[in-house]
């Protein structure tokens, strides 16, 4: 309007006003994009976020037991990929909620952020690194360019080396230094170098093909620097038939390297009559990029397997970190199927429409439950004993990724990100913490089930098979959490009045259910990739860097300081430089150790 009023004016005053107005317009545009320090507005400042915040008022007025009576809603709130079904009808959402969440994903630039990851861009901005764990399972012949190199070609070069080495060990071509075949593998690592591989190892232990491939072999993990863990890992193990795999990118991780030196000493003491250099060459392998350090340690350079700085520890299962020990145990062919399952889910995540995209939907629901409904925890409940270590792995994947306080540009968030993930296989958890879930705190839950058991069993005379008994609980618990038990229902059942308050279940507890056909190497890979990508989705929407972990560093630094104090105090020095509480504990520890 202002320009229209002046468009016929050709005076100098007009020119000055034009210039001033242009500056003003530019200022307003820049201001709309971010604050005066040039930072982009947070997701919480968008209209999409505000719409969802307002929408919670509607949701808070509706109970899940009523929502579940709507057949059309229940049908709409499902997604599938191949034989996998995701049912999220027991979440406190409607079709409107999902539309608003999709709008939030658009406002957060989810599509662009996902594309940036798959294009090899440095989305880990604080460490200036790409994030390429998907390239670890990409098909041979495809290409992903990261830092000017074809990452897929590099990956398959290492995989070829892993296949050759694992087959040599498994066939007996590569033997121990006394001529005995190497039947026991002890993998030394911590954090992502341990939790992920252990989850996969346990998941496949009783799967028919994998179990057959591992016949006569043993795989153990050594993670904790606690000497008890060393004793457990080496108990009943013959050094002459053991191959130790040391997993450390830099070969400097304090806990891992102390454990590595301890196992090195165990090997040398257990095989005393052979040249130490021969013992180490035949009984040690490593996953590392520090070839000078591995050679100095005594490891044959041909038995060192590398990976890249674009592989984060908690996302490294598909790299040599997991593939070396798991291929030695289960065989490379089994692990190829695991990689294929991951790859299948990578493509689903990249290409499926948002309302059928399982990892995206799960990520959106995670944001909804934590950021809008205020639920700070999440239970991971696999109704499959083989997944007993899955919750522990996802704890790290999710909590180390999204437990952040600032956005990627360093802006402090006005809300908390990440959930406290925990879990236990069903039905064990039902007799542990489900009481709190039903009548205490509201904890959204992920139920994971399988149509077929790895070890089917149906006793004569029993009405149902063991697996049907298990799965009866898988189907019952989500409904119990959602619908609860009302006072009227209790009275209709003749419940004594004094017990009604104790037996009432409020319900309205959200959950989702994932149903797979069976747990095998392929579906195990699919499951892992679902949760890896769900984590990335939530981080992308919140605007945090899901791929760094600066919160791990401070404790390490302080640990080094205390370690130096312990060394000094063993030599008689007094405890100095700590707060009074820590000083008192250190003095108590040192006094007890001296006794």
CA nearest to 238, candidates 275, 187, 183? 183
Return the CA Rg of the chain. Answer: 28
SS3 511: strand
Catalytic member of 208, 458, 556, 564: 556
- Pick the catalytic residue: 400, 419, 424, 532? 400
Going by their DSSP bridges, the two strands 145-146 and 420-423 should be labelled as unpaired
Which among 45, 157, 431, 502 is annotated as catalytic?
Answer: 431
Helical spans, DSSP H, in 319-428: 320-330, 332-351, 358-367, 390-402
Half-sphere exposure of 63 (CA within 13 A, CB side): 13
Q: Say whether 305 sits in a helix, a strand or coil.
A: strand
Active site residue 400: yes
Buried-state track 252-284, b at ≥16 Cβ within 10 A, e below 16: ebebbbebbebbbebbbeebeebeeeebbebbb
122 catalytic residue (yes or no): no
* Best CA proximity match to 446, nearest among 91, 50, 112: 91
Q: Which residue has the tokens 């719409």?
A: 51
CA neighbor of 288 nearest in space, from 156, 185, 189:
189
Tell the residue number behind the tokens 């957060």, with chain if given: 108
Number of H helices, E strands in the chain: 25, 13
For the record, the structure tokens of 221 come out as: 């993990």
Beta bridge partners of 447: 381, 513
Report whether 276 contacts 283 (CB < 8 A).
Answer: no
Verify whether residue 431 is a known catalytic residue. Answer: yes
Cα 363 from chain centre: 13
Going by C-alpha positions, the residue among 304, 306, 279 that lies closest to residue 294 is: 304
Which residues carry out catalysis? 400, 431, 556
């Amino acid at each position: 309007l202002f320009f229209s009023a002046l468009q016929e004016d050709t005076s100098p005053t007009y020119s000055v006003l034009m210039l001033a107005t242009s500056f003003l317009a530019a200022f307003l545009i820049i201001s709309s994009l971010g604050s005066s320090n040039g930072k982009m507005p947070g997701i919480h400042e968008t209209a999409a976020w505000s719409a969802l915040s307002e929408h919670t008022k509607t949701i808070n007025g509706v109970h899940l037991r009523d929502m579940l009576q709507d057949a059309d809603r229940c049908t709409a709130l499902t997604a599938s990929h191949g034989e996998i079904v995701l049912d999220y009808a027991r979440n406190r959402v409607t079709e409107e909620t999902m539309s608003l969440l999709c709008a939030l994903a658009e406002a957060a630039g989810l599509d662009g952020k996902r594309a940036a990851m798959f294009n090899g861009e440095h989305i880990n901005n604080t460490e200036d690194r790409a994030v390429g764990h998907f390239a670890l399972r990409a098909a041979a012949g495809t290409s992903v360019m990261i830092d000017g190199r074809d990452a897929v070609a590099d990956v398959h070069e290492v995989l070829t080396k892993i296949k050759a080495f694992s087959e040599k060990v498994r066939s007996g071509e590569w033997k121990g230094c006394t001529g005995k075949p190497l039947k026991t593998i002890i993998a030394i690592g911590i954090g992502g170098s341990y939790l992920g591989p252990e989850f996969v190892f346990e998941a496949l232990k009783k799967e028919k093909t994998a179990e057959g491939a591992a016949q006569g072999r043993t795989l153990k993990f050594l993670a904790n620097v606690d000497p008890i863990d060393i004793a457990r890992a080496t108990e009943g193990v013959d050094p002459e038939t053991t191959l130790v795999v040391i997993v450390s990118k830099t070969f400097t991780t304090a806990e891992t390297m102390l454990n590595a030196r301890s196992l090195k000493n165990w090997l040398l003491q257990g095989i005393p009559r052979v040249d130490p250099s021969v013992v180490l060459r035949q009984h040690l392998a490593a996953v590392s990029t520090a070839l000078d350090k591995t050679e100095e340690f005594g490891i044959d350079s041909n038995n060192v397997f590398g990976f890249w700085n674009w592989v984060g520890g908690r996302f490294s299962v598909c790299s040599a970190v997991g593939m070396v020990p798991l291929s030695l145990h289960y065989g490379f062919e089994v692990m190829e199927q695991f990689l294929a399952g991951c790859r299948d889910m990578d493509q689903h995540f990249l290409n499926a429409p948002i309302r059928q995209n399982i990892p995206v939907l799960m990520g959106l629901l995670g944001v909804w439950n934590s950021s809008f409904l205020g639920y700070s925890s999440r239970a991971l409940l696999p109704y499959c004993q083989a997944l007993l270590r899955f919750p522990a792995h996802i704890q790290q994947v999710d909590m180390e990724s999204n437990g952040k306080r600032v956005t990627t540009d360093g802006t402090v968030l006005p809300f908390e990100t990440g959930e406290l993930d925990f879990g236990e296989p069903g039905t064990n958890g039902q007799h542990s913490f489900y009481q709190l879930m039903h009548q205490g705190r509201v904890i959204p839950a992920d139920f994971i089930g399988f149509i077929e058991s790895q070890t089917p069993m149906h006793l004569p005379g029993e009405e149902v098979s063991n697996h049907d008994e298990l799965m009866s609980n898988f189907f019952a618990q989500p409904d119990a959490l959602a619908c609860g038990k009302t006072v009227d229902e209790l009275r209709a059942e003749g419940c004594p009045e004094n017990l009604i308050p104790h037996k009432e279940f409020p319900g309205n507890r959200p959950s989702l259910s994932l149903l797979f056909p069976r747990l095998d190497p392929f579906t195990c890979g699919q499951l892992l990739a679902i949760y890896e990508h769900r984590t990335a989705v939530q981080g992308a929407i919140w605007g945090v860097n899901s791929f760094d972990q600066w919160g791990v560093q401070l404790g390490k630094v302080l640990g080094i300081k205390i370690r130096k104090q312990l060394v000094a105090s063993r030599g008689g020095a007094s405890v100095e430089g700590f707060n009074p509480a820590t000083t008192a504990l250190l003095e108590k520890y040192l006094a007890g150790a001296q006794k």
